[in-house]
Amino acid sequence: MDVKASVQRQFGQVAANYATSAVHRAGVELEQLIARAALTGSERVLDAGTGTGHTALALAPQAADVVAVDLTEAMLVQGRRLAAERGLANIRFEQADVEKLPFADHSFDLVVSRYSAHHWPQPAAGIAELARVLRPGGRILLADIVGFDDPSCDTHLQAVELLRDTSHVRDHRVAEWLDMFASCGLSAACVFSWELRLQFDSWVERMQTPPKHVAMIRRLLDGAPQSVRAALLVEADHSLTIPGALFEARMP
């Protein structure tokens, strides 16, 4: 099974959990993304890797039109339901691969992505696609978990993430994201960072992580060096805190 098939399988099983997830439904990074978007009501917006649509739903009242795409149809079903419940008629949910978008060049004023990019097998290709569909002068706002510069901390983070969710690819470091934006001719900066606390039980239940993997995560955190435990703010119940970053990139 390749990564994209794994993503579809994993999230197809747990889509309803993500529709109600507090982490995805709200957060300081979503507030910052909305503020940075500064929509005026005339913009066409793409939400790439929308999941169950929480970011698209938050932006729609200020946009002319929002297209929300995801690889997993079950997630889009949840997004359509939430949009209907809110009476939002200017959102269209479409199944699509972020690394091969079915849109013409220069189609959108703003492209956003939140908590999706760590699942992209070829993130540079994904950024290139976001840049391709962006109009001149348009912007990308990408919010995601990021890796640590310290190798030991980063290794433990990636291992924990993969045990919890086998469709996980990588939490890239801030410098890696900036390099990917630059390679596509975009001027980019990290405009906001935050610490995301993950309550352990709800975190693994949301993804229906197998019990043997849950036990392995607990053992990995218990046996981690003190420097890693301090960086991840590991708590007695194995709840942990991981870093996130919001990037703003502009097309010339």
> For residue 77, what is the domain's CATH number?
3.40.50.150
Q: pLDDT tens for residues 39-67?
A: 999 999 999 999 999 999 999 999 999 99
Mean pLDDT of the chain: 94
Classify residue 17: in a domain, yes or no: yes
Total of domains in the chain: 1
181 vs 6, residue with greater confidence:
181
Classify residue 218: in a domain, yes or no: no
Classify residue 10: in a domain, yes or no: yes
Classify residue 235: in a domain, yes or no: no
Domain boundaries, position 182: 3-147+167-195+244-250
pLDDT of residue 114: 97
Classify residue 7: in a domain, yes or no: yes
Among residues 189, 191, 184, the alpha carbon closest in space to that of 252 is found at 184
Classify residue 204: in a domain, yes or no: no
- What amino acid occupies position 251? M
Is the sign of the CA dihedral 39, 131, 244, 164 positive or negative? positive
Query: Are residues 170 and 118 in contact, defined by beta-carbon separation less than 8 angstroms?
Result: yes
Q: With 70 as the cut, is the pLDDT of residue 12 above it?
A: no
User: What is the model's pTM?
Assistant: 0.93
Classify residue 92: in a domain, yes or no: yes
Classify residue 9: in a domain, yes or no: yes
Query: Token match 């703010």: residue?
Result: 233
Of the pLDDT bands very low, low, confident and very high (cuts 50, 70, 90), residue 1 is: low
